[in-house]
A and B are shown apart, each in its own frame.
Chain A
């Protein structure tokens, strides 16, 4: 036990005397949460659009007024000819062009049908999609108002209600993801780097020749990171509650326990990486490419898994982060307990046991 305390003291000296580790440990979580919370957003606001109005009648005027009154769009330009459409897109001035057909009002009244072409710049597909949806709902709204006036027999009124995140705040979606990334980064990358550093410097050899046992070395090395990861998790949750007013509907205790489970699985991955890499640089590259990229791309953090091609959906199941994010969202946003999350928890637990087993085995082979 005394040896263990001495070892951990030494480990904390390493961490607190290295500015780079300090930044990754304490700067990164805060910067990431703030970045994702404030700067990066899926919502659209004041998107510049252009209008090509071939009719210029009462109906089109009214629709255009509605659009310009909404906070989502600002009408940047009025164009007169179809030929100009491509020009405005190419200049990058606007994200969308609304093209009202000729005799809009007349068609609407006579044929009960008129067309608006919504042309969006799909170089950014998500934004294009959102713009088109928003325009649609403004049009629907207009239609309903008109129908009220002419009083037709029946009408279907869709009343969408968004649950668990009614204001569609992207920060609610990012917090679980950022928490996952940070815990992965701190637990897996930092431990793998810190273990390979001892290998690189030759101190690992000295430790292995000393009476201290290999597993004690590993536990001594990962313990400080468990501790720091837990602190990080707390900082992230507190920040998201107080700065972004993110609700935590479910049990904080469950949230804590699930986080510890995920931290341990990430640490096991970190140990595994350290057994296969000889230098800190390799460990860092493997952590970044092998862990961070899948976490960002395939965990459902940013890109919804359901819209991925099937092979990627299958691969995503092998990523612990995916399950952790489901658990986090469940606890934080839906307020559900273990009775709804036992399956995900069990999968995560299984993966953790598997990674620990694998890294113990690898570690032994290396010692031979």
Chain B
């Protein structure tokens, strides 16, 4: 396999009974790339992602994430990836600092490292004032940024974002994407699913899943040329409607 590919999937398939939720998808993601993983609800995005992050075993096919096999090395994959889901999965009844300490702890960071990271993260996000407040009292946008930073706390090679910007305002979304760019710039690979087609334009490359299959995969620019439309939204509509 190519050393530059941090994710490589070949004919990856997941069946639930007779239903092919993910139907032999093949793609690769390069190091430092922002890879948009698009599809309508029920197209199989989440199932595909779950196989890549090691919490669902594929029915057939092959995939490597950060150089590790999804069938046999799920534990190694977990150490090398970050994950943020559409639910802002921080603990509302823990303070900002306690959340950082806890997640640093389960990724096995040392006490010293956690202390360093806590300071760095709080300074970066400008959360000094609320560092000892319960996360539940923070506005959604802040929680989301904190959640992203926590997903990066162990400096993973790849971070998986599952519809990270659902339900937040356009300004916060914009700021969030700036964070994503910064992380990508520092060499972290970003694998992101989204519903927002304007966000798809920000990605380096985009794949679109329809009914369990990847129907299109290229840079946003080339996809628009290929389908002879002006926006990713139209690309998506053309594909989704068949």
Contacts and interface: CB of A to CB of B under 8 A. Distances in A.
B169 to A, nearest CB: 21
A209 B56 CA distance: 10
Nearest to A2: B105
16 contacts: A6-B106, A10-B98, A13-B93, A13-B98, A201-B87, A202-B87, A203-B91, A205-B85, A209-B53, A209-B81, A209-B160, A210-B83, A211-B79, A367-B55, A368-B56, A368-B57
Contacts of B87: 201-202
Interface residues of B, number: 31
A244 interface: no
A3 B108 contact: yes
Secondary structure dominating the interface of B: loop
A13 B105 CA distance: 15
Interface string A201-221: 111011111111100000000
Contacts of A2: 105, 108
Contacts of A14: 91, 93-94
A161 interface: no
| Number of chain A interface residues as a range | 20 to 34
A7 interface: yes
Contacts of A17: 93, 134
Contacts of B89: 201-203, 205-206
B144 interface: no
Contacts of A6: 101-102, 105-106
Contacts of B101: 6
B85 A10 contact: no
B27 interface: no
A167 interface: no
Nearest to A368: B57
Instruction: Name the residue among A18, A201, A213 with the largest chain B CB count within 10 angstroms.
Output: A201
Interface in A289-345: none
A63 B92 CA distance: 71
A210 B107 contact: yes
